[in-house]
């Protein structure tokens, strides 16, 4: 007899999903459970911030010349270790690593998946108790199973993701993941130490009265983006911005809205990373019925050239993203008339 959906733990839910596909190997389910385990360990540490001596810089910079926080390094190690020790991942790439790590041994080479992640997005906000999170995307490898994975397995467009998700470490910890079949959210139940299904079948509302952008950069935005923001203001929409993508996009996904991190004069390609931040969220948003573009095309259609390339981001409720696109198009037509 099927269990009541609302009571399902992440493990039970992924096993229930497996039952619908008799030929499935269970590899993706076990990969998601591995990530869930790392998330619980990361949340345990994040929730001690302020008590234990774990705040502040780790004393070195990452590939993006950003100062690595101690908790960034902790989260990176936790994720890396569960995936390295598990049987469902052939290799990883992370915002905190220069290149890929190939888990080159007999068991991991048998896996069909590689994982890309940002271990702790928004970590510069930790010192002030703002929600932060882990973001991940899972890809089916291109190279043959049985051999070590390679860079080409990672440099795939986001549309090829088999699953994508995030864990938000906020007032509670919540894991949200999408496969092509839907988006589901699991809240960590402290009584049993398990993620339990709390938000089944998430849909992003198509209409909204909220926009989310760092308006401090207003002078650096292109005209079309400025026009869109003015339209939001004229409609009396509210502005919400935590400065932590996981928090801002999570709110946008659940309540509707639009999240913008446009290109700027000082950052012509935008700030957020295509492979670790934009693609996973774009995949989730689209499965949930929303939209995600770089201004001109779907984010998930972009063919990556580099593991660490940035990407302008506009994502959320479908009507708002379409209106933004129109503002950019109108401005383009005007400037080329
Ligand atoms: P970091 O992980 O270095 O704290 O960066 C956070 C990211 C992302 O989560 C957020 O949306 C964005 O940077 C905020 O950038 P601004 O401070 O420029 O608005």
Kindly report, residue by residue over 25-58, the tens digit of the pLDDT: 899 999 999 999 999 999 999 888 766 666 666 6
Range 210-335 has CATH code 3.40.190.80: yes
Torsion angle defined by CA atoms of residues 102, 108, 112 and 118, in that order, rounded to the nearest 10 degrees? -50
Q: Residue whose CA is closest, atom 2 of ligand 1? A: 122
> For domain 10-199, which architecture applies?
2-Layer Sandwich (3.30)
Rounded to an integer, what is the distance from CA 106 to the centroid of its chain?
A: 30
Report CA(242)–ligand 1 centroid distance (Å).
Answer: 9
Is the distance from CB of 308 to CB of 279 less than 8 angstroms?
no
Domain map of the chain by residue range? Answer: 10-199, 210-335
Mapped onto helix, strand or coil, the DSSP state of residue 206 is coil
Q: What are phi and psi of 214, to 5 degrees?
A: -85, 95
Q: Global pTM?
A: 0.93
Report CA(25)–ligand 1 centroid distance (Å).
Answer: 37
Pocket of ligand 1 contains residue 244 by CB under 6 Å: yes
Helices marked H in the chain:
10-19, 27-46, 70-85, 106-109, 151-154, 223-234, 245-255, 279-287, 318-335
Pocket of ligand 1 contains residue 245 by CB under 6 Å: yes
Tens-digit pLDDT profile for residues 61-112? 766 666 667 888 999 999 999 999 999 999 999 999 999 999 999 999 999 9
Pocket of ligand 1 contains residue 243 by CB under 6 Å: yes
> DSSP letter string over 63-74?
TTSPEEEHHHHH
């Amino acid at each position: 007899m099927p269990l009541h959906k609302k009571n399902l733990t992440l493990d039970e839910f992924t096993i229930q999903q497996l039952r619908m596909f008799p030929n499935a190997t269970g590899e993706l389910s076990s990969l998601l459970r591995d990530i869930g385990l790392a998330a619980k360990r990361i949340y345990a540490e994040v929730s001690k911030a302020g008590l234990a001596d774990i705040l502040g810089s780790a004393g070195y910079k990452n590939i993006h010349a950003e100062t690595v926080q101690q908790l960034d390094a902790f989260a990176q190690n936790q994720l890396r270790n569960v995936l390295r020790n598990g049987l469902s991942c052939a290799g990883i790439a992370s915002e905190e690593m220069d290149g890929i790590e190939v888990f080159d041994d007999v068991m991991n080479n048998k896996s069909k998946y590689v994982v890309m992640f940002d271990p702790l997005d928004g970590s510069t906000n930790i010192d002030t108790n703002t929600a932060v999170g882990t973001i991940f995307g899972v890809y089916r490898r291109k190279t043959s199973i049985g051999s070590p994975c390679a860079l080409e397995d990672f440099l795939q467009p986001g549309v090829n993701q088999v699953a994508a998700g995030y864990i938000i470490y906020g007032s509670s910890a919540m894991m949200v993941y999408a496969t092509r079949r839907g988006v589901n959210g699991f809240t960590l139940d402290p009584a049993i130490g398990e993620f339990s299904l709390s938000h089944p079948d998430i849909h992003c509302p198509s209409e909204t009265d909220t926009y989310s952008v760092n308006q401090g950069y207003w002078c650096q935005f292109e005209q079309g983006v400025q026009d869109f923001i003015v339209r939001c203001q004229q409609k009396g929409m509210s502005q919400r911005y935590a400065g932590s993508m996981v928090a801002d996009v999570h709110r946008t996904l659940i309540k509707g809205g639009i999240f913008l991190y446009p290109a700027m004069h000082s950052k012509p390609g935008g700030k957020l990373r295509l492979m670790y931040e934009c693609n996973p969220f774009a995949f989730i948003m689209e499965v949930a019925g929303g939209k995600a573009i770089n201004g001109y095309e779907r984010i998930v259609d972009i063919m990556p050239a580099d593991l660490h390339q940035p990407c302008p981001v506009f994502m959320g409720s479908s009507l708002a993203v379409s209106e933004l696109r129109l503002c950019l198009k109108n401005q383009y037509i005007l400037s080329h008339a």
